[in-house]
């Protein structure tokens, strides 16, 4: 979804399309962070607290 918003901005060059892209990008980032936190919680429930790098 982020990619489509970015392509739309590139094709129109309008600031509101860029802002729509930024909003989606921020949302994607928050979802990714939430998923990361959930993953860490699941690891601790399993007794597996080793960080995987």
Count of domains for the chain: 1
* Whole-prediction pTM: 0.47
Mean pLDDT of 10-31: 87
**Is 13 a domain residue?**
yes
**Is 48 a domain residue?**
no
Between 47 and 6, the more confident residue is 6
Long-range CB contacts (within 8 A, 24+) of 33-36: none
**Is 25 a domain residue?**
yes
Residue 17's domain comprises: 2-43
**Is 51 a domain residue?**
no
Mean pLDDT of 30-43: 79
Mean pLDDT of 16-42: 84
pLDDT value at position 49? 57
**Is 24 a domain residue?**
yes
Residue 47 confidence (pLDDT) above 80? no
Residue 24 confidence (pLDDT) above 80? yes
**Is 50 a domain residue?**
no
């Amino acid at each position: 979804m982020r990619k489509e918003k970015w392509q739309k901005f590139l094709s129109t060059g309008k600031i509101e399309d860029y802002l729509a892209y930024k909003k989606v990008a921020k949302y994607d980032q928050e979802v990714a962070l939430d998923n990361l936190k959930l993953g860490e919680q699941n690891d601790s429930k399993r007794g597996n607290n080793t960080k995987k790098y």
